[in-house]
Chain A
């Protein structure tokens, strides 16, 4: 009991650790939830790009002595809009366009922050988070923005799922996919803004992808996946915070490491998709394939190639 008390309860006797706890719980839940869409739509790269592109906004706000949140928010929205617009032109491939955009904006941020006296320290805190330095104001802002993200996710859940699943049918069903794409990118941007103090610009993409990827291995329902992913995010945040406190290492990095460890566990042990049960799964898949489809393939060898 003494051990448990020492490990889990004692650290939160400090006010800064209480604030950090609230911050990582908020961050873990919101990144985990929105991460479900990031994973289902294969937007890891875009999440990474957004988090980098937000960086100059953070730096400019910092240099002007304004709210870092506000700076990040403005740049997040600008970048989201740019990505959606770039995606509609076909001259440049989308991933190239995004690559150009985020590398350029990130460099702008680095150059701007190199003008400050405490260059290295400031850079590190933006890039990797500074959860122990969270103020009460930061906390409330995170709660407000995080709450907004969750509300919008709930309101537009069915449309977001449909666009992720079957884009052409979504369009055919009258869904305005352009605005939903923009909405999703804005939600991701807001989530990145919420996560800045906990894990920073660079590591946030791990929290957007890793918990959701683990959750995907455990369920075939989107809503369950969102819940599991948010739970993994919270667990990683709290465990990572505790471990970093006791081991005296960087909190942001530790949180991401715990998330990665959780993913590894799930990847190995998941009941149906886990690597350790793969032989059993393969047998079952073979059994399924002997039904109608295989028979038709025998009858018309070119069926798979025709009509695409």
Chain B
């Protein structure tokens, strides 16, 4: 059990990194509280796994310090950090039985056999692995194998944190859901810090209390799933979270209106005021679910052409062309959708502005 802290951590896989560009992780300052459920969300190659391997000690960062309960562990190997990690592909000792797999980390640490047995049985019970205890691990299904990997972490009672590196990649969709619930359940029961790496937003949002969105080696935003959805602090977060992602339009600001291609959208007074003083490229952003579509002329609305309508069952995704921008709107089932032309309304309280990718607060 421990609070994990990153103090100005940066990492490059090159021996002599030159610019910022050579770093897989750029200057991370963050702390993970004891007992939290965290998700690290980001596209492939954004540095999630690098970050995770630095937490576990498989990698030593090029710069900065890693602290466990204020103790510097930056150069300590994983076996001395008391950490567990579940990998993308199930890692098992396939010549051993399930029981021996679970007992392995304890036996390696010289714990008396009767305690090992008791603990392994407890964990097997927790993970519903009891029926397989005497089976060889090699012949089991992918989800059972992944549970064994997790179990090897859970057997150590004093484990500081359990790290998951896209653990559900190889699991069937139906079982994915089940296993995710099991993880959540175990977290609630044991209150061990879970750090969960994934590129699947649904996984991240349903699993974690705190989601950290990463891109290009940086943590862009940390927050609850709702926070990330409602108030993306970065255009990447807006675009990456939600399906489809946020709409963005390059714009300029004039009085309290955002202008683009001769059209204008009325904004909140104070947002417009702050935007007028902001520097850099201005972008207007709105979630597809908040973009309103009307079939008739609307005061303050802008005209658009309907390109496609995609029925997703519970809702329809409408793609619209507004000048040279393509916007998406999410319309709930049953609402009428105009045939060709539509008037779009941007509700001011849902319309965000970004300067150089950062949200104007």
Partners in one complex: no
A residues with a Cβ closer than 8 A to B are: none
